[in-house]
Structure 1
Amino acid sequence: MRLTIASGVAAFTAAVLLYPLFAGGAWFWTSLGAVLAVVAAGLLSSRLSLPAWAAPLVGLAATGIFLTVSFASEEAWALIVPTKDSVAELVRLLGVGWADIQRFAAPVPDTDGITLLTSGGVALIAIAVDFLAARLRRAALAGLPLLALATVPATILTDPISWPAFIIAALGFVGLLISDGRERIGHWGRAVLVRRTRVVNPSQGTPPRDTADTSGLRLSGKRIGFAAIVLAVLLPAALPAMEPVSFFTFGVGGRGSGPGNSISIPNPIANLKGQLQLPDRRVVLTYTNNDDQPRYLRIYALDTFDGQQFGMTQPKGAPQNRTENGPLPAPPGLGRDPKINNVVTNVRISDEIARLQFLPLPYPPRQIKVDGDWRADVDTLMVFSTREEAAGIEYDVSTSEPQPTADLLDATDNTPPQVDDRFLALPENLPPGILELAEKETAEANTRYEAAVMLQEFFTTDGGFTYNLETQGHSNSALSDFLLRSRAGYCEQFAASMAVLARLIGIPSRVAIGYTGGTKVGDHWEVGTNDSHSWPELYFEGVGWLPFEPTPSGAAGQGSARVPEYSRPRPEPAATTSEPSPGATSSEADAPQDPQARRNIRELDREGTVATGTLPPDDSMPLAGKIGIGAGALLLVLLIPAGLRLVSRNRRVRRLTWKVSQPSDELTARMAVGRGQTTVAAVWAELDDVLYDYGMARLPSETPRALARRLTQQYEFDAESAAAMTAIAGNVERVLFAREPGRIAPMGKDLRKVRLALAATVSRGRRLRAVLMPPSTLRRIRMLGERLLDGFDLLETIRLRRTSQKGA
């Protein structure tokens, strides 16, 4: 019976670990009821002496009845007995609960389906624990189902398990082990080295019987268990935090991945087309910036092409790339030559947007001020989270936008692109007509930049393309049909086709999916579902990734698409002057050489950020500083015993600094005597600690006089030190044994002489240890822990006594 109850307690205390997963408390009380039902079934099985295999079946039946009463009582017979309709209702709720779990992020609401799933799962854990511990007598093995229950929040949530919940769960498991040990030892009969007691139950008239007194072993087990729990909580807190290794990297899982340190990435292309086909426009986000200009807001960067469609490599967010740590990683490929436009944008995401765990951002972001654990992928600068959602949040993003000129982009042709091969990779079975088309349309280009501009013109002006949302398919044949025959599609097909053609002529490319700049409404820009958009990004060494716009302008639903100024064709040679073209900025090669222009791009970025007055500069601490702070904190923790010893010593010394005055009356005389006795107690306590710190602890049987004689002879005190030690011992004996100790002179100087004499007899290392890690203070800390455990041991003495009534 005891093991059955302990099993239920252990299961429910382990279920407490689930509390961060829920927004309400209905799961708690329902799970408690389910565990009580299992415990009642276990007690019934024990009472009826059922075989071990039958107990889980009784537990399952009890769980079914409880869940029927809680969730399907209207369909049950007499509100209790399950029927076909009640079972069907429970199955329906299980399906709804499973769908809700897939739909909601933790903490999830207390819907009936989720509560049913949770309470049923906790009941199954309780049945397994009862079967292993109470039926098979394998209490240690019962920790496995409890551990399985604890791993649920550990795998779903990024935050560690709270220590109060861990302590509660650990106490439940320790209680199960103690109950199992008590049952085993109690059945031994005559216990070795254990006291035997006589147990009499007068109320039942049973004769006296002998039983083994296992209290000593139980107390030892509890002390070990409590000490293990305390170490498990305090030791990790004292150790420096460690980040997970590579195979536990914080990252994003592929499509359809489950919960944990990964998120499910929806199909960006399908989501894009779905938003464009919505009958009514819905506001997705609003934004403002310091130059009041519209900007594309990128969410995803698709970098792999399998011959059918572009996909996304799993992004990884390293701990040092958290947005809260300051500036993001430098934009790939961006050098010092382009002029940089620093802009700060404030973005507000609508509450209605669902399951978005990537932030819409202008490119390239350099610093983000946002609440929550958001991280940047180094290769693409996508910012994402595995536990946060973007719905309803507001954040500031600082961008450093390169503004290259045509001459600067032409000059990049002399430097081969230093990017990953995946940005140039294409399938081998690509139709040859597509390669011929790419070579034909860029035949007159002298540089990669000129070829990129020609490709954009091919889609927007020269190729006769039209915008059409009804186009289907992403296969090679669909790509060939779009480029070579129909030439009708929507933004995703334009972006993917230009990216493929760019790769064919040696320009690294990828496809971005997000939103166009939207529409100006009042003092802010408003972005709706009809502004969903896809565009290609091409890479130029020294400038980085630049967006191009191949989708024809003025297309239905894409009216807010804009062609970047640098991607427009060059003006006619006759119109070429020393003046830059409208909207373009001169490069560093065209401008006079300014010493400030050759400064590090990070410094220029930081100045631009400060000038806006919105985001703070990068004041993140270097690694050496963090290590120094950690070492200092560890040193302070190690010096706690030394601090406690110094405090107690100073308190005792203050008691010794009192002046002897002639008593003017009897009350003053009594106060002087009392003050002298307090001084003697302080001197004796301090001397005792000094001896313990120096490894000279007095023997329990030594009197003060015997201690003084031993120290004087053993360590060869000089005359003054021997006299001081004798005076201290004499005063202590007077206070302890004299009926009227009288007035006692101050002993501060005597204690100081004795302490110096003792210190001169030990090594320097022993003296250093006495100062930094005083054994006397460590002894008090250890004794405090023992007294705390003794307080738990007192619970063992609590007994419920039954009194019998005598008949008249």
Structure 2
Amino acid sequence: MRLTIASGVAAFAAAILLYPLFQGGAWFWTSLGAVLAVVVAGLVSSRLSLPAWAAPAVALVATWVYLTAVFASDEAWALVVPTKESVVELARVLATGWADILRFAAPVPPTEGITMLAAGGVALIAIVVDLVAARLRRAALAGLPLLALVMVPATILPDPISWPAFILAALGFVSLLIADGRERIGHWGRAVLVRRTRAATAQPLPTGGADTSGLRLSGKRIGFAAIALAVLVGALLPAMEPVSFFTFGVGGTGKGRGNSISIPNPIANLKGQLELPERRIVLTYANNDDKPRYLRIYSLDTFDGQQFGMTEPKGAPQNRTDNGPLPEPPGLGTRPKINNVVTDIQISDEIAKLQFLPLPYPPRQIRVDGDWRADVDTLMVFSTRDEAAGLEYQVSTSEPAPTADLLDSLSSDRANTDARYLRLPDNLPPEIAELATSITADAKNDYEAAVQLQQFFTKDGGFTYNLRTQGHSNSALRDFLLRDRAGYCEQFAASMAVLARVIGIPSRVAIGYTGGTKIGDRWQVGTNDSHSWPELYFEGVGWLPFEPTPAGSLGQGSARVPDYAQPRPETTGESSTPTSQATSSAADEPLDPGARRNPRALDREGVVSTGGLPPDDSMPLIGKIGIGGVVLLLILLIPAGLRLITRNRRVRTLGWKVSAPADELTAAMVSEGAGRHPAVAPSVAAAWAELDDVLYDYGMARETSETPRALARRLTQQYEFDADSAAALTAIASAVERVLFARDPGRIGPLRKDLRKVRQALAATVSRGRRVRAVLLPPSTLRRLRGMGERLLDGFDLLENIRLRRAAGQKSP
């Protein structure tokens, strides 16, 4: 029965790791009830001595009855007995919960279906753990189903697992192993302790079986040490990038902390934001032309066959926002008309862990508090120190307004384009390449091909907007394009970007928000405006957004197709002639008038070759390494510092003179050396304790049974002390014996000079390496640290001596 209870404890302790996936505590209490039902079923099976195969069946029935009572009691007989109607109701709740799981991003709301899925899943894990540990007696293998619970938050969430929750889960598993070991060893006799308290040694052997308390003590120590090492080593190792196993489309890369950027999966919560039960305001903005604009946060440039990811942005110190204009937009020439717009943006205080600024593209100059920098390639603006929550800033943009005729006349030269914007995986299904070629077969240039691709998604291809779809494998892209043709902005943006690369148009995917809704004199952007769209590159104009996601009542309501991407009418009037002009109205003046070109524009290859983001202007890499080395050295010198502090305190005490009688010395008790006796003067105790530490540091440790006089005689003869050193050592030994044993120790002079003389004599007998070690890494201090750990474990040992009831057959003394 002990193993059954330990199995339930271990399963529920591991289930606590799931808490970041849910809102509220409904899942917690419901899962606790499910585990208790499994434990009760296991106890019943053990009591009736049922075979191993029958115990899981009983537990499944108990779980079924429990879920019926909680989620379908109105349809059950007597509230708990399952009926046909209750089975149908449970199936309906289960289907609803599965649909909700696919709709919402973590943390999911506490719907009835999601709560039932969580409770049922935890119960199944508890049943498997009980089968493996309590029935098959393979407690170590029970860690595999427990690991399944750990893997769920580890693979879904970008943040690391909470270490307090991990410790609870680990303690649950350790308790299961200890219970299993106690069951096994308890039949073979009394266990041998590694180290035991006096109280534990005094315990009599129980008459009902072997004493396994020693096993529990050793198991706890091994378990505590393993958990502590797991937490400490995990904290020291570099962070791993989160991997998404459950989505197709747009993903992100997670980076470590420190001087690199913490980048959550940019699209991990896009679907959940679009399906939140209520709209939440993310930001508001106002601009001088009062027009809505897409606000880009992330720019994703790599495609691995399943999803788009982001190359780590690089921002040189010259590209700080407070240094003036940002780098020039890549590819933007002098031919298109430029609209200069100034936008004031206010981020909500509820936005968490956002280190990128939502901005219209392309930003030219930004006024914002904090250390914010622009990536030269993408013009994403980010910070390694600050977050965007509650931030208010002003951005000036120089937006190209190309016409269809201008885009028609552009060259297809891509000599200056980074190859990563055209890169595709080798295993891309050939059907996708054939589809891209057939859609753009009659296109005369890149612009016409881009418009035809967009029209394929919005009109000709029969696509529908649906948040309930989600891909799961490398074939998800092919299924979306060739079979299902139903999805949301994530799939549409990623698919158009892939098709554009197939036909040779550089592309990337943007993540951010659509223009939102006009409320009063400001535009409001909510969670339902979360969006993803492709950006295509045209030499002379730069990166232009396209909109393949269906808009209107059947799609993303706030999405809009840019004017230049609209299909051309059958007959056209005057063709707009490309000009090199910019608006000059006072309302359109930028933050820095006249600054069209960035005088600090950096060579892109030169910035990329730096390989990372400089942590600070005045902190080169060698300086950072030096600081790390100094910190490491200071940590290593902690034992030496503690030894120096202790020695200085003792040396100050050695200056005292003692002539008081023994009964007055009782108040002068100290906590070191001979201070455990009730009549020890502080100066004598300090001298004896310091001598003891010096001997230990030099490898001449005093034997436990050795008296002060015997110690002095042995050291003098063994190391051949001169007359002065021998006299000094004899004086210290005599003072200790007089204080310890004499009725009246009389007058004892200062022992500082005697102790110095003895220490010099001892140092002369050892090697230089031993003396250096005694200073830098003193064994006496390490002995005290080890003793502190042993006393802490002894505190846990005392818990084993607590008896709530007297053992059977044990008589009172």
Task: Work out whether the TM-score is over 0.5.
Answer: yes
Match 1:763 to one of 753, 764, 767: 767
CA contact (8 A) 1:342 1:401 kept: yes
Pairing of 1:314-333 with structure 2 (within 5 A): 314-317=307-310, 333=330
Aligned-pair distance for 1:656?
2.1
Number of residues paired by the alignment?
A: 693
Aligned-pair distance for 1:138?
0.9
Q: Name the SS for the 1:221 alignment partner.
A: helix
CA 125–670 in structure 1, closer or farther in 2 if over 3 Å, else same? closer
Question: How far, CA to CA, are the matches of 1:367 and 1:688 in structure 2?
Answer: 70
The alignment status of 1:715 with 2:719, answered yes or no, reads yes
Aligned-pair distance for 1:294?
7.0
Aligned-pair distance for 1:757?
2.4
Aligned-pair distance for 1:643?
2.6
CA contact (8 A) 1:708 1:729 kept: yes
Q: Which has the larger radius of gyration?
A: 1
**What amino acid is aligned across from residue 569 of structure 1 in structure 2?**
T
Question: How far, CA to CA, are the matches of 1:775 and 1:714 in structure 2?
Answer: 22
Cα deviation 1:521-568 (Å, max 9, x = unaligned)? 765456799999979643438x85367999xxxxx999996779xx97
Aligned-pair distance for 1:259?
14
The alignment status of 1:700 with 2:704, answered yes or no, reads yes
Aligned partner of 2:71 in structure 1 is: 71
Question: How far, CA to CA, are the matches of 1:251 and 1:382 in structure 2?
Answer: 27
Q: Percent identity?
A: 61
Question: How far, CA to CA, are the matches of 2:225 and 2:771 in structure 1?
Answer: 31
Cα deviation 1:338-381 (Å, max 9, x = unaligned)? 99989775254799x9xx9998532246999999xx99999756
With 629-638 and 76-85 compared, the bigger mean Cα shift is at 629-638
CA contact (8 A) 2:697 2:774 kept: yes
Aligned partner of 1:157 in structure 2 is: 157
Aligned partner of 1:242 in structure 2 is: 238
**What amino acid is aligned across from residue 419 of structure 1 in structure 2?**
D
Cα deviation 1:23-82 (Å, max 9, x = unaligned)? 322222222222222111111111111111111111111112222222222222112212
Aligned partner of 1:774 in structure 2 is: 778
CA contact (8 A) 1:511 1:535 kept: yes
Aligned partner of 1:362 in structure 2 is: 360
**What amino acid is aligned across from residue 102 of structure 1 in structure 2?**
L
Aligned-pair distance for 1:506?
8.4
CA 265–217 in structure 1, closer or farther in 2 if over 3 Å, else same? closer
CA contact (8 A) 1:77 1:83 kept: yes
Match 2:577 to one of 569, 581, 598: 569
Question: How far, CA to CA, are the matches of 1:719 and 1:435 in structure 2?
Answer: 107
Pairing of 1:198-597 with structure 2 (within 5 A): 211-237=209-235, 239=236, 241-244=237-240, 253-255=247-249, 286-288=284-286, 296-298=294-296, 314-317=307-310, 333=330, 345-348=344-347, 361-364=359-362, 396=393, 416-420=415-419, 423=422, 438=444, 471-473=459-461, 508=506, 524-525=522-523, 537-540=536-539, 544-545=542-543, 569-570=577-578, 581-583=581-583
Aligned-pair distance for 1:140?
0.9
CA 559–631 in structure 1, closer or farther in 2 if over 3 Å, else same? closer
Q: Name the SS for the 2:284 alignment partner.
A: strand
Aligned-pair distance for 1:731?
0.6
CA contact (8 A) 1:97 1:117 kept: yes
Question: How far, CA to CA, are the matches of 1:502 and 1:432 in structure 2?
Answer: 12
Question: How far, CA to CA, are the matches of 2:498 and 2:668 in structure 1?
Answer: 99
Aligned-pair distance for 1:434?
6.4
Aligned partner of 1:81 in structure 2 is: 81
Aligned partner of 1:128 in structure 2 is: 128
Question: How far, CA to CA, are the matches of 1:620 and 1:228 in structure 2?
Answer: 41
Aligned-pair distance for 1:764?
2.7
Question: How far, CA to CA, are the matches of 1:655 and 1:161 in structure 2?
Answer: 51
**What amino acid is aligned across from residue 473 of structure 1 in structure 2?**
G
Aligned partner of 2:16 in structure 1 is: 16
CA contact (8 A) 1:250 1:316 kept: no
Cα deviation 1:491-545 (Å, max 9, x = unaligned)? xxxx99x99999999875678797787898765456799999979643438x853
CA contact (8 A) 1:499 1:510 kept: yes
Aligned-pair distance for 1:399?
6.9
CA contact (8 A) 2:505 2:536 kept: no
Q: Name the SS for the 2:444 alignment partner.
A: helix
Aligned partner of 2:484 in structure 1 is: none
Aligned-pair distance for 1:198?
8.2
Question: How far, CA to CA, are the matches of 1:468 and 1:61 in structure 2?
Answer: 53
Match 2:788 to one of 769, 784, 788: 784
Aligned-pair distance for 1:252?
10
CA 539–738 in structure 1, closer or farther in 2 if over 3 Å, else same? farther
Question: How far, CA to CA, are the matches of 1:801 and 1:531 in structure 2?
Answer: 62
Question: How far, CA to CA, are the matches of 2:193 and 2:439 in structure 1?
Answer: 93
Aligned-pair distance for 1:669?
9.6
Aligned partner of 2:7 in structure 1 is: 7
Cα deviation 1:754-791 (Å, max 9, x = unaligned)? 22222233233222222222211111111221222222
TM-score by length of 2: 0.68
Question: How far, CA to CA, are the matches of 2:632 and 2:145 in structure 1?
Answer: 37
Question: How far, CA to CA, are the matches of 2:539 and 2:215 in structure 1?
Answer: 75
Q: Name the SS for the 1:346 alignment partner.
A: strand
Question: How far, CA to CA, are the matches of 2:280 and 2:109 in structure 1?
Answer: 26
**What amino acid is aligned across from residue 22 of structure 1 in structure 2?**
F
Question: How far, CA to CA, are the matches of 1:159 and 1:501 in structure 2?
Answer: 33
Question: How far, CA to CA, are the matches of 1:285 and 1:228 in structure 2?
Answer: 46
Aligned partner of 1:206 in structure 2 is: none
Question: How far, CA to CA, are the matches of 1:139 and 1:346 in structure 2?
Answer: 57
Aligned partner of 1:589 in structure 2 is: none
Cα deviation 1:570-613 (Å, max 9, x = unaligned)? 56xxxxxxxx845389xxxxxxxx9x97545499xx9xxxxxxx
**What amino acid is aligned across from residue 84 of structure 1 in structure 2?**
K
CA contact (8 A) 1:197 1:210 kept: no
Aligned partner of 1:656 in structure 2 is: 654
Cα deviation 1:289-328 (Å, max 9, x = unaligned)? 69989755347879899xxxxx998333466769999969
**What amino acid is aligned across from residue 72 of structure 2 in structure 1?**
A
CA 370–222 in structure 1, closer or farther in 2 if over 3 Å, else same? farther
CA 125–708 in structure 1, closer or farther in 2 if over 3 Å, else same? same
Question: How far, CA to CA, are the matches of 1:45 and 1:251 in structure 2?
Answer: 38
Question: How far, CA to CA, are the matches of 1:68 and 1:549 in structure 2?
Answer: 48
Question: How far, CA to CA, are the matches of 1:584 and 1:424 in structure 2?
Answer: 40
The alignment status of 1:677 with 2:681, answered yes or no, reads yes
Q: Name the SS for the 2:644 alignment partner.
A: helix
CA 302–181 in structure 1, closer or farther in 2 if over 3 Å, else same? closer
CA contact (8 A) 1:302 1:313 kept: no
Question: How far, CA to CA, are the matches of 1:299 and 1:700 in structure 2?
Answer: 70
Aligned-pair distance for 1:651?
2.5
Aligned-pair distance for 1:257?
8.9
Pick 1 or 2: higher relative contact order, CA cutoff 8 A, min separation 6. 2
Aligned partner of 2:197 in structure 1 is: none
Aligned-pair distance for 1:704?
1.0
Aligned-pair distance for 1:178?
1.3
Q: Name the SS for the 1:142 alignment partner.
A: helix
Match 2:694 to one of 684, 690, 693: 690
Question: How far, CA to CA, are the matches of 2:11 and 2:185 in structure 1?
Answer: 24
With 76-85 and 189-198 compared, the bigger mean Cα shift is at 189-198
Question: How far, CA to CA, are the matches of 1:361 and 1:514 in structure 2?
Answer: 9
CA 331–802 in structure 1, closer or farther in 2 if over 3 Å, else same? farther
Aligned partner of 1:794 in structure 2 is: 798
What RMSD, in angstroms, separates the aligned Cα atoms of the two structures?
Answer: 6.2
Question: How far, CA to CA, are the matches of 1:34 and 1:802 in structure 2?
Answer: 34
CA contact (8 A) 1:366 1:397 kept: no
With 134-143 and 82-91 compared, the bigger mean Cα shift is at 82-91
Question: How far, CA to CA, are the matches of 2:71 and 2:559 in structure 1?
Answer: 50
